[in-house]
A and B are shown apart, each in its own frame.
Chain A
Amino acid sequence: MKMMYDVVIIGAGVSGSAVARELARYQLAVCVVEKEEDICCGTSKANSGIVHAGYDAKPGSLMAKLNVKGNQMMENLSRQLDFPYKQNGSLVVCMEVEGKPRLMELYEQGIANGVKDLCILNREEALQIEPNLSDTVVAALYAPTGGIVCPFGLNIALAENAAENGVEFRLNTEVVDIQKTEQGYQIHTTQGDIQTKVVVNAAGVYADKFHNMVSEDKIHITARRGDYCLLDKSVGNLVEHTVFQLPNQFGKGVLIAPTVHGNIIVGPTAIDVEDKEGTNTTQEGIQRLVGRAGSSVKDLPIRQVITSFAGLRAHEDGHEFIIEELADAKGFIDCAGIESPGLTSAPAIGVMAAEIVCEILNAKEKDSFTETRKGILDPKQLSMEERNALIRKHPAYGNIVCRCEMITEGEILDAIHRPLGAKSLDGIKRRTRTGMGRCQAGFCSPKTIEILARELGVSESEITKAGGSSKLIVGRNKDMYDRSEQKERQDLA
């Protein structure tokens, strides 16, 4: 570990990882610090997984520009970095005649933003491409460039590729203070101090905290919670496109979309919360979601829910991405206010922030940059002959650990041993989908715990769900009795 870096990036979410990957092209010493035990642990892990077309943001805004650019970059990036992405197209459905002018506005906004192939469909046309739309749908805005992506896949691919190209990642490292120094900044973390010339603040809902440590021009970020429900794959063909509701007097509406893995996602709500770690779902939130979701699609099979979860959007008061070097803190670059369409924009955010950094440091490109990365091998993509050849070589690929998603031990071993490998149950889950199916890890968690302990060379009682104190096992059977006996003996002595 170096003590002096050219760049320290705070946060290993999708923005931080995208910036890291872009900076990895240059002759720079780059370090990413992350307070969690893994990459992709905050906003980036709990969102809709939508690649927005780009008609939502106001023309001329950074959001609009980076959304459209990120959307255009996504397909090529998914091929380079081997993560799941699909251009399934999106529909904004309008459920009352009075809404049509607003649908038109959205269309014009999209055109102004440079979104390609947008068109307005009448009810019949919309039903032709999406037969399950509800009876109340009167018209729709169709954006063929809208897509879906695996949010973990994108974030982890960017980070792994950055790591392979020399970027250092320090996990379980929380930044507690930042001070200006002569050469740049001194970053105090829970794991010691780090010196750097440049700081990139990609701290999600905490970006205001770090910004405000170095700047007098304060910003404020609200954690805006979104609750989601995920439905079973058995109803995965409910819709083919991402179906948004046209915002009306009852609010922004909720989306229904297929996921790249074949589930259906329903969400999100938008509830401002005080706690920046407040990712708890609430009864009220879920009820609100279920109540609204049913209006755009016929017979929403909400009973097929396999899990619900919540994520926090980093909503900045001005509702705009802030990607710039601070005027009163040279060498400190914000990537703040990255809320929707942040996931879509991430590749473009990476490029933009990296350009700013490179200009400050006058950085030179490396001779060797590996711009491709291979994802975890999915044996389901292989023919039976190929698969058998793989099992002959690595028998672990013949052992199914997660029966719902049919994930093999071979994939889990890959997830543990690759760069920035998984160390927890959730880490395995995000990389391989182990435990993400309909039984929600009931069947596989004891097996996954066993594999993790064996491969990491620790006892099973050290294995966590997601780092920190999230231990899954608290001791051996009857050890309480041993402890109370010990105590009695001590008391007697």
Chain B
Amino acid sequence: MMEKVRQIDMVIIGGGPAGLAAAIAAKKQGVANLLIIERDAQLGGILNQCIHNGFGLHTFKEELTGPEYAQRFVTQVEELQIPYCLHTMVMDISRERLVTAMNREDGIFQIQAKAIILAMGCRERPRGALNIPGYRPAGIYSAGTAQRLVNIEGYMPGREVVILGSGDIGLIMARRMTLEGAKVKVVAELMPYSGGLKRNIVQCLEDFDIPLKLSHTVIDIAGKERVEGITLARVDEKGKPITGTEEYIPCDTLLLSVGLIPENELSKEMGVELEQVTNGPKVNEQLETNIPGVFACGNVLHVHDLVDYVSEEASLAGRHAAAFVQNVNRKEKPVYVHIQTMDGVRYSVPSKICVERMEEEVVVRFRVGSVYKNQFISVYVDNERIWHRKRPAMAPGEMEQITLKKQKLMEYPNMQSITVKVEER
């Protein structure tokens, strides 16, 4: 049992794809005294239950399964001899970066960290948050919980399935449940477009003849002990169910894939400021939060579509956190320019940059709020458009990114703001 406070240069909260990539980058940058804290039985995070392929196309130029993708990073962690502890829950982080954690062997212990990387990932929005009326029987699962039961434990949560929400996990689970012998009757989506990647709609629904009903929602759940059926209804533009469109579908299972929420309980308690749209921390171009020495990356920062981008973003956070520990490239009072988002662009990560301090390029990631065909993404410095590109298709389910170049931005020493928006021409 350790009751003395340990001193560690960098603590990484979470051993999923973000935490692993951040730790590797920091170690390569020369931070020797670091620690990954993971609550599960192994490193890899949610990738361990994502046994489908399609991971790593950008990073490794091949299609890996989730566990394979994770293993590439776990192997590096082992090779670089980065210490980690498993089965360990972080209970609290103070503003002064004192980490309190707990596990069976060590009990509660505390670590004073010089830098912290928040990489806790995200969680699924539950039924309750949607106020779906009806009974509360067994057989209602979030898609990720069902994925864990099937892919990790080998248990079938049900045989006749309706899925609400066409986020990627919902689509992936439609295919998985079908392959494991269940009948997926329909995937219903409240919005007039899917929240998932196009390739998943093709490979997980169309290839298996599973109908996708857009602008539909579940308005009732029948069955007192186990789900016996659900009632679907079409919704109007405001998302309100339209009377007369109700359809009862017998089933024993309802899976929900209705959104992911960055898991920022620890961040909030320590005083990290959050962005309203993403529910993730507000960060600068170094992915540092409002608390100096506290960085964030991966799905705890904003929900990503592809893990490749998580890894890329996390490496950046790892490098900057290393620089913080080593006290290089710090500015006493950095002058920030805020990135404003409007006209279809919902948010941006980072939300502010210090031009003087920034590296040669900064990738700005964001999502759009609706489906756009043949429209443009534009970047303005104050009133001047400095970047303009046509995108054949943009959708809320897919993350967009642009690259800001330091050289270009330095041409505007008196700039007030940078604006990113969608334009018709």
Cβ contacts under 8 Å, B150 to chain A: 477
- Verify B181–A478 contact, CB threshold 8 A: yes
Contacting residue for B156 out of A395, A398, A469, A473, CB 8 A = A473
- Taking beta carbons and an 8 Å cutoff, which residues of A are in contact with B? 229-230, 234, 277, 279-283, 285-286, 305-309, 384-385, 387-388, 391-392, 395-396, 398-400, 403-404, 406, 438-443, 445-446, 450, 460-461, 464-481
- Known A388-B108, A468-B225, A472-B138: A305·B131 in contact at CB below 8 Å: yes
Whole-angstrom CA separation of A144 from B238 in the bound complex: 44
Cβ contacts under 8 Å, B136 to chain A: 279, 309
Q: Does B271 contact A (CB under 8 A)?
A: no
- Verify B107–A440 contact, CB threshold 8 A: no
Whole-angstrom CA separation of A461 from B268 in the bound complex: 38
Listed by A's residue number, 24 A-B pairs whose Cβ atoms lie within 8 Å are A229-B131, A234-B268, A280-B133, A306-B128, A307-B127, A387-B108, A391-B1, A398-B102, A398-B105, A400-B39, A400-B102, A439-B123, A439-B124, A442-B142, A442-B144, A442-B145, A445-B141, A464-B138, A473-B155, A474-B156, A475-B155, A478-B180, A478-B181, A480-B159
Query: When each residue 164-181 of chain B gets 1 if its CB lies under 8 Å from chain A and 0 otherwise, what string results?
Result: 000000000000000011
Chain B binding surface, main DSSP class: mixed
Whole-angstrom CA separation of A446 from B126 in the bound complex: 15
Residue on B nearest A410 in the bound complex, by CB: B104
- Known A446-B145, A472-B157, A478-B181: A280·B104 in contact at CB below 8 Å: no
Residue on B nearest A444 in the bound complex, by CB: B145
- Verify A471–B138 contact, CB threshold 8 A: yes
Contacting residue for A470 out of B107, B108, B131, B225, CB 8 A = B225
- Verify B131–A387 contact, CB threshold 8 A: no
Whole-angstrom CA separation of A386 from B148 in the bound complex: 35
- Verify B126–A391 contact, CB threshold 8 A: no
Among A234, A277, A466, A474, the most chain B Cβ lie within 10 Å of the Cβ of A474
Whole-angstrom CA separation of A461 from B157 in the bound complex: 9
Cβ contacts under 8 Å, B145 to chain A: 442-443, 445-446
10 further contact pairs, Cβ within 8 A, besides A406-B89, A441-B126, A474-B156: A283-B220, A388-B1, A391-B104, A445-B141, A445-B145, A466-B138, A473-B156, A474-B158, A474-B252, A475-B159
Query: When each residue 235-269 of chain B gets 1 if its CB lies under 8 Å from chain A and 0 otherwise, what string results?
Result: 00000010000000000100000000000010010
Across the A-B interface, give the 6 residue pairs with the lowest CB-CB distance, nearest first.
A307-B128, A480-B181, A440-B126, A465-B138, A388-B107, A395-B104
- Known A396-B104, A439-B123, A468-B225: A473·B157 in contact at CB below 8 Å: yes
Whole-angstrom CA separation of A259 from B382 in the bound complex: 50
- Verify B105–A388 contact, CB threshold 8 A: no
- Verify A460–B133 contact, CB threshold 8 A: no
Q: Does B153 contact A (CB under 8 A)?
A: yes
Whole-angstrom CA separation of A285 from B131 in the bound complex: 11
- Known A388-B1, A478-B181: A473·B149 in contact at CB below 8 Å: yes
- Verify B154–A477 contact, CB threshold 8 A: yes
- Verify B129–A306 contact, CB threshold 8 A: yes
Q: How far is the CB of A361 from chain B (nearest CB, A)?
A: 38
Residue on A nearest B181 in the bound complex, by CB: A480
Q: How far is the CB of A309 from chain B (nearest CB, A)?
A: 6
Whole-angstrom CA separation of A309 from B105 in the bound complex: 39
Whole-angstrom CA separation of A282 from B222 in the bound complex: 11
Residues of B in contact with A, size category: 35 or more
Q: Does B135 contact A (CB under 8 A)?
A: yes
- Verify B155–A476 contact, CB threshold 8 A: yes
Q: How far is the CB of B217 from chain A (nearest CB, A)?
A: 10
Contacting residue for B126 out of A400, A442, A467, CB 8 A = A442
Whole-angstrom CA separation of A475 from B106 in the bound complex: 37
Cβ contacts under 8 Å, B391 to chain A: none
Whole-angstrom CA separation of A279 from B133 in the bound complex: 10
Cβ contacts under 8 Å, B134 to chain A: 280-282
- Verify A465–B137 contact, CB threshold 8 A: yes
Cβ contacts under 8 Å, B105 to chain A: 395, 398
Whole-angstrom CA separation of A404 from B221 in the bound complex: 25
Contacting residue for A399 out of B87, B141, B157, CB 8 A = B87
Cβ contacts under 8 Å, A234 to chain B: 268
Cβ contacts under 8 Å, A277 to chain B: 224
- Verify A283–B219 contact, CB threshold 8 A: yes
Q: Does B185 contact A (CB under 8 A)?
A: no
Among B105, B107, B159, the most chain A Cβ lie within 10 Å of the Cβ of B107
Q: Does B182 contact A (CB under 8 A)?
A: yes
- Verify A470–B155 contact, CB threshold 8 A: no
Q: How far is the CB of B344 from chain A (nearest CB, A)?
A: 23
Q: Does B226 contact A (CB under 8 A)?
A: yes
Cβ contacts under 8 Å, A283 to chain B: 133, 219-220, 241
Q: How far is the CB of B233 from chain A (nearest CB, A)?
A: 10
Q: How far is the CB of B228 from chain A (nearest CB, A)?
A: 10
Q: How far is the CB of B386 from chain A (nearest CB, A)?
A: 37
Whole-angstrom CA separation of A461 from B149 in the bound complex: 11
Whole-angstrom CA separation of A388 from B137 in the bound complex: 38
- Verify B148–A446 contact, CB threshold 8 A: yes
Cβ contacts under 8 Å, B224 to chain A: 277, 279
Contacting residue for A480 out of B126, B152, B157, B182, CB 8 A = B182
CB-CB contacts below 8 Å: B99-131 with A: 102-108, 123-124, 126-129, 131
Q: How far is the CB of A37 from chain B (nearest CB, A)?
A: 10
Whole-angstrom CA separation of A403 from B131 in the bound complex: 22
Cβ contacts under 8 Å, B332 to chain A: none
- Verify A460–B126 contact, CB threshold 8 A: no
Cβ contacts under 8 Å, A229 to chain B: 131
Q: How far is the CB of B273 from chain A (nearest CB, A)?
A: 15
Whole-angstrom CA separation of A283 from B221 in the bound complex: 11
- Known A282-B133, A305-B129, A476-B154: A443·B123 in contact at CB below 8 Å: yes
Q: How far is the CB of B146 from chain A (nearest CB, A)?
A: 10
- Verify B158–A466 contact, CB threshold 8 A: no
- Verify A442–B89 contact, CB threshold 8 A: no
Contacting residue for B133 out of A285, A305, A396, A472, CB 8 A = A285
Q: Does B202 contact A (CB under 8 A)?
A: no
Cβ contacts under 8 Å, B157 to chain A: 472-474
Residue on B nearest A309 in the bound complex, by CB: B136
Q: How far is the CB of B272 from chain A (nearest CB, A)?
A: 14
Q: Does B91 contact A (CB under 8 A)?
A: yes
- Known A280-B134, A391-B108: A305·B128 in contact at CB below 8 Å: yes
Q: How far is the CB of B298 from chain A (nearest CB, A)?
A: 17
Cβ contacts under 8 Å, A387 to chain B: 107-108
- Verify A286–B131 contact, CB threshold 8 A: yes
Q: How far is the CB of A409 from chain B (nearest CB, A)?
A: 9
- Verify A475–B1 contact, CB threshold 8 A: no
- Known A388-B108, A398-B104, A478-B181: A470·B156 in contact at CB below 8 Å: no
- Known A280-B134, A446-B148, A473-B157: A440·B104 in contact at CB below 8 Å: no
Cβ contacts under 8 Å, B241 to chain A: 283
- Verify A281–B133 contact, CB threshold 8 A: yes
- Verify A308–B142 contact, CB threshold 8 A: no
Residue on B nearest A282 in the bound complex, by CB: B133
